Structure 1
Amino acid sequence: MKIVIAPDSFKECLTAAKVAQAIATGLQQVLPDAECIKVPVADGGEGTLQSLVDATGGTLMDVAVTGPMGETVQACFGLLGGGATAVIEMAGASGIELVSGDQRNPMVSTTRGTGELILSALDQGIKRIIVGIGGSATNDGGAGMMQALGVKLLDADGRELPRGGAALSRLCRIDTGSMDRRLQTIEFIAACDVNNPLTGANGASAVFGPQKGATPEMVEQLDQALTHYASILHRDLGKDVGQQPGAGAAGGMGAALLAFLDAELKPGIDIVMDAVGLAEKLIGADLVITGEGRIDGQTAQGKTPVGVARIAKQFNLPVIALAGSVGSDVDAVYDCGIDALLPIVHGAVPLSEALAKGEENLIRAARNLASALILLR
Structure 2
Amino acid sequence: MRVPVTGPHGTPIISHYAKLHAHGQHPKAVVEIANICGLMMVEGQMDPFAASSRGLGDMLKVVLDEGIRHVVIGLGGSACNDGGMGMLAALGVQFYDERGHTLFGCGADVLKAASVNWSQVDSRIMECELIIASDVTNPLVGPSGATHVYGPQKGLIPEMMEPLDQAMARYGRMLEVANSRGSTHSHLFSPGSGAAGGLGFALQSIGGRIVPGAEAVADLTGLKSAIRESDWVLTGEGKSDYQTLYGKLPMYVSTLSADFEKPVVLISGSHGEGIASLYSHFAGCFASVNKPTTLGDCLEEAENLLLQCTRNVARLIQASQKMG
The two structures have a TM-score, normalised by structure 2, of 0.89
Are 1:161 and 1:168, in contact at CA under 8 Å, matched by a contact in 2? Answer: no
- Determine the structure 2 residue equivalent to 1:94: 37
Report the equivalent of 1:373: 317
In the alignment, is residue 345 of structure 1 matched against residue 285 of structure 2?
A: no
Structure having greater relative contact order (Cα 8 Å, sep ≥ 6): 1
- Is the Cα–Cα contact under 8 Å of residues 167 and 225 in structure 1 kept in the other structure? no
Aligned to 1:269: 214
Pick aligned residue for 2:193 from 231, 247, 251:
247
Pick from 9, 13, 16 the counterpart of residue 76 of structure 1. Answer: 16
Residue 108 of structure 1: SS of its match in structure 2? coil
Match of 2:244 in 1: 299
Q: Which residue of 1 aligns with 2:302?
A: 358
Aligned to 2:136: 194
- Give the 3-state SS of the residue equivalent to 1:115 in structure 2: helix
- Change in CA separation of 1:264 and 1:339 when aligned onto 2, cut-off 3 Å: same
The answer as to whether partners of 2:89 and 2:104 remain within 8 angstroms in 1 is no
Shift in Å at residue 81 of structure 1? 4.4
Query: Contact conserved, 1:287 with 1:319, CA < 8 A, in 2?
Result: yes
Stretches of structure 2 that go unaligned for 5 or more consecutive residues are none
Deviations along 1:18-69, one digit per CA (max 9) or x if unpaired, are xxxxxxxxxxxxxxxxxxxxxxxxxxxxxxxxxxxxxxxxxxx221211100
Instruction: Percent identity, please.
Output: 38
Task: Report what 1:230 is aligned to.
Answer: 172
CA contact under 8 A between 2:267 and 2:288: conserved in structure 1?
yes
Partner of 2:2: 62
Measured in 1, the distance between the counterparts of 2:238 and 2:192 equals: 22
| Equivalent residues of 2:5, 2:58 under 8 A apart | yes
1:328–1:66 Cα change, 3 Å: closer
Question: 1:355 Cα deviation (Å)?
Answer: 2.5
After TM superposition, the structure 1 = structure 2 runs for residues 136-215 of structure 1, keeping only pairs within 5 Å, are: 136-215=78-157
Does the Cα contact within 8 Å between 2:18 and 2:30 map onto a contact in 1? yes
Q: Answer yes or no: is the 8 Å Cα contact 1:165–1:225 preserved in 2.
A: no
Q: Deviations over 1:80-116 (max 9, x none)?
A: 3415322111111011100022x21111211011111
Root-mean-square deviation over aligned CA pairs:
2.0
Structure 1 residue identity aligned to 2:214: I
Poorly superposed stretches of 4+, deviation over 4 Å: none
Q: Describe the shift of the 1:81–1:286 C-alpha distance in structure 2 as closer, same or farther (beyond 3 A).
A: farther
> What secondary structure is seen at the aligned counterpart in 2 of 1:291?
strand
Cα deviation, residue 351, structure 1: 2.9
Counterpart Cα distance in 1 of 2:315 and 2:190: 46
Q: 1:331 aligns with which of 276, 279, 285?
A: 276
Pick one of 199, 202, 226 that aligns with 1:256.
202
TM-score by length of structure 1 reads 0.77
